[in-house]
Structure 1
Amino acid sequence: MDRVIEKKKWPPKKIMTYVGVALLVTLILASYFSTNGNSKLNVDEQKITISEIRKGSFQEFIPINGVVMPIKTIYLDAIEGGRVEDLFVEDGAMLEKDQPIMKLANTDLELDLANRETAVFDLITNMQRLRSEAEQNSIRQLNQLAEVDNALAEAERLYTMNKKLFDEKVIAEQEYKSSKNMYDFQVRRKKLTEQTLRNDSVSTKQRLRQMQESVDRTQVALNLMRKKADDLTVKAPVAGQLTSLNAEIGESKTRGQRLGQLDVLSGFKVRADIDEHYISRIFAGLKGMFTFAGKDYELSIKKIYTQVTDGRFQVDMEFTGEVPNGIRRGQTLQIRLALSDQTQAVLLPRGGFYQQTGGNWIYKLNEAGESATKVDIRLGRQNPEYYEVMEGLQPGDKVVTSSYENYGDKDELRIKNSE
């Protein structure tokens, strides 16, 4: 006998199908709500940094490192090349002006100096001989002129007397003309003798002048050569401390080679490196502060070196007031270089949040401090301690300023106390 089998309303296969569909829908909804809408994340209060917004004095500045240097450094270069013959002082010695530092030997220069001295001596000797010969020649010509004057006077006497006698018809015309011719001859002879004496005098003076000019030029060259020889003894141009001495006895030095440097210790300056990003904002007169032995000191930019090397350029700064006691050459100072005057502003402490937000938004805590939600902000100037808040936050607000690296794009942070 056949038995009627009742059909089940919810077979297991059908139930499993509905359960699978329900789970799939649940996963889809969970995924949707986890990526959209007001997503939240629990964070430990001990692992975040909460800062309070406040209003206070703000000044834009950048931190730079400066090295203390002497107010003036003079480089010692070899004016003439030579072999180091003697060292009179050691590196680090305090020197007075014109104090010898080292002596170089240069045989070629010394031989040239000796030859020039000999040439000058020969010129002076020749000039003295010419002057002596000129004086003797002048004496001879003066004696000759005296003889000519005497002969002229005698011829004039005889001519005058014969002319008178000829007029009285006492002597013959021949005797008269003979005395007249002799007189005229002596007159012409005197004129020629005087002309010769004048010409010899002018010629002698010209030769002596030319020789004196030659002696003077040779003397100048000799003095320069002597100065070059004196330069073989390197001396301190000013009083100061000798540093970076680079010479050993027996070592050869070429002309222009650096031998050392002299630091003038009457004062100090600070040379600092600055990122090229700020080159357009740096000018002479900008102030900087640094702390030394618990006291603040002020510096002012004196000179700007606009050449950029490895993304940085240099400036020289001088003390505007008191120089710290105990400061030393080569010491490094941490300087706060001001780029603006002090003003009142809403201040946001710097933190790691900026790397993820770019300063466009921040997590702001509610009044209870239990959660923090995203708020849009706009920042202005900045210094190593604070950002200037232009919009989005008010004094008294509390924000999360630590890094947001692990927060993803969560809209809200649930702050939990782990204690």
Structure 2
Amino acid sequence: MDRVIERKKWNSKRLLTIGGVTALVGLVAGSVMLTSGKSKLNVDTERITVSNVTKGSFQEIIPLNGIVMPVTTIYLDAVEGGRVEKLFVEDGATMKKGQPILKLANTDLELSLANEETAVFNVLTQMQISRDNARQNTISKLNQMAEVESGLKEAERVYKLNKKLYDQKAIGLQEYQKSENDYNYAVRRKRLTTQILNQDSTAMNQQTQQSKESYAHMKSTLELMRKKVGDLIVRAPVDGQLTSLDAEIGQSKQKGGRLGQIDVLSGFKVRVDVDEHYITRVYNGQTGDFTLGNKTYNLKIKKVYTQVANGRFQVDMQFTGAMPKDIRRGQSLQIRLALSDETQAVMVPKGGFYTQTGGNWIFKLSEDGKTAYKVDVQLGRQNPDYYEVMQGLKAGDRVVTSSYENYGDMQELVLK
């Protein structure tokens, strides 16, 4: 008799299949859980900087580098070209106005001066000769006039006498007419002589005036030439310190070439380099300060140079109030330039975190201080110490402000 064999519900093959599927589902679920959870990193609190977010007075300030310069600088250029023949002083010397600095030699210019002096001397000599000739001519004309006037008087006397005698029938008509003709000739001769004398006098005056003008012009040219030769000796235009002297004995200098400069020592200014990013926010009258010898000194922008070179532009700042006694030309200063007035703001201290985050997020500590997690923030203005917090943080929050360079894409820091 046959026996019914009962079929087994859980054989080994089915058990293996179910186990494999279960393991696979578990693996997938574990992977999903691991990838969907926050990535964490254990961090030693001694190796990070934790700062408090505060609220208080905030002023936007940018740090800048400034160079101390004389308040006035006068450049020395070669008015005339030439070869450096003599140096009277050395670079750095304190000068008085008019004191000689160096002498240039220019043979062509000196020869031109000698020729001009000779020409002026010749003109002067010719003027003297012309004046003597004119004087002699005038004397001759005056003598001639004297003779004419004497002849006229004599002719007039004879004419009047003969007229009486003729009226009295004492002389004949022919003798009377001769005396009348002689008288009329003497009158005409005097009139002509007077006209000639006046014309000569006018011509002489014109010639004298032209000679004077020509001489004056040549003399002016001579003075100009002498001045040009005199400019071969370069002198200090004002009292001050000679700096940047660029001249050596025997060196040739072109006309208009830079020889050096005179720094007026009556005061100093500070020339500051500013990033072109701030060109629309920097203007005359803005204030700044710097610290030197544990004292703070105030400055004010006097002039803005709007020309941009290599991404930067320059401003000149003058002292307002006291000036450091031991300040020197060329000295570097760390200037703090204020771009805004003081306002109340939420602030976070500056730190290395900004390099990795760009100010878009920050690690904020939990209330118990055991972890720090990412939060989105918006930072605004800045000064050397703080960033202005626009949103994402409030006063009293604690944040990690040190560098995030080793944190990668971590979402949470576990503080140990």
> Structure 2 length as normaliser, TM-score?
0.93
Contact 1:33–1:39 under 8 Å retained in 2: no
Contact 1:377–1:391 under 8 Å retained in 2: yes
Q: Which residue of 1 aligns with 2:259?
A: 259
Give the stretch that moved more between structures: 404-413 or 118-127.
404-413
Q: Which residue of 1 aligns with 2:292?
A: 292
For 2:372 and 2:137, locate their aligned partners in 1 and report how far apart those are by CA, in whole Å: 120
Structure 1's unaligned 5+ residue stretches are none
For 2:11 and 2:410, locate their aligned partners in 1 and report how far apart those are by CA, in whole Å: 43
Q: Which residue of 2 aligns with 1:277?
A: 277
Matched, 1:51 2:51: yes
State the Cα distance separating 1:55 from its structure 2 match. Answer: 1.3
Other structure's SS at 2:337 match? strand
State the Cα distance separating 1:381 from its structure 2 match. Answer: 1.6
Q: Which residue of 2 aligns with 1:149?
A: 149
Task: Give the AA of the match of 1:29.
Answer: A
Q: Which residue of 1 aligns with 2:353?
A: 353
Give the stretch that moved more between structures: 383-392 or 263-272.
383-392
State the Cα distance separating 1:10 from its structure 2 match. Answer: 5.3
For 2:191 and 2:247, locate their aligned partners in 1 and report how far apart those are by CA, in whole Å: 75
> Structure 1 length as normaliser, TM-score?
0.93
State the Cα distance separating 1:43 from its structure 2 match. Answer: 2.5
For 1:355 and 1:208, locate their aligned partners in 2 and report how far apart those are by CA, in whole Å: 89
Q: Which residue of 2 aligns with 1:63?
A: 63
For 1:46 and 1:21, locate their aligned partners in 2 and report how far apart those are by CA, in whole Å: 48
1:1-400 matched pairs, under 5 angstroms? 9=10, 11=12, 18-400=18-400
For 1:316 and 1:205, locate their aligned partners in 2 and report how far apart those are by CA, in whole Å: 63
For 1:63 and 1:16, locate their aligned partners in 2 and report how far apart those are by CA, in whole Å: 73
State the Cα distance separating 1:187 from its structure 2 match. Answer: 0.3
Cα 1:400–1:15 change in 2 (3 A) is: farther
Other structure's SS at 1:328 match? coil
For 1:15 and 1:239, locate their aligned partners in 2 and report how far apart those are by CA, in whole Å: 108
Q: Deviations over 1:244-271 (max 9, x none)?
A: 2222212222211222222111111111
The size of the alignment, in residue pairs, is 412
Contact 1:84–1:251 under 8 Å retained in 2: yes
Q: Deviations over 1:297-334 (max 9, x none)?
A: 11111111111111111111111111102111111101
For 2:25 and 2:46, locate their aligned partners in 1 and report how far apart those are by CA, in whole Å: 38
Give the stretch that moved more between structures: 16-25 or 364-373.
16-25
Other structure's SS at 1:280 match? coil
State the Cα distance separating 1:72 from its structure 2 match. Answer: 1.5
Q: What RMSD, in angstroms, separates the aligned Cα atoms of the two structures?
A: 2.1
State the Cα distance separating 1:213 from its structure 2 match. Answer: 0.5
Q: Percent identity?
A: 63
Other structure's SS at 2:161 match? helix
State the Cα distance separating 1:38 from its structure 2 match. Answer: 4.6
Other structure's SS at 1:154 match? helix
Cα 1:15–1:321 change in 2 (3 A) is: farther
Task: Give the AA of the match of 2:51.
Answer: S
Contact 1:83–1:106 under 8 Å retained in 2: yes
Other structure's SS at 1:281 match? coil
Q: Deviations over 1:214-235 (max 9, x none)?
A: 1001011100100011111111
Task: Give the AA of the match of 1:157.
Answer: R
State the Cα distance separating 1:19 from its structure 2 match. Answer: 4.8
Cα 1:219–1:18 change in 2 (3 A) is: farther
Contact 1:76–1:260 under 8 Å retained in 2: yes
Structure 2's unaligned 5+ residue stretches are none
Cα 1:289–1:14 change in 2 (3 A) is: farther
For 2:167 and 2:230, locate their aligned partners in 1 and report how far apart those are by CA, in whole Å: 85
For 2:15 and 2:267, locate their aligned partners in 1 and report how far apart those are by CA, in whole Å: 94
Cα 1:16–1:62 change in 2 (3 A) is: farther
For 1:133 and 1:310, locate their aligned partners in 2 and report how far apart those are by CA, in whole Å: 75
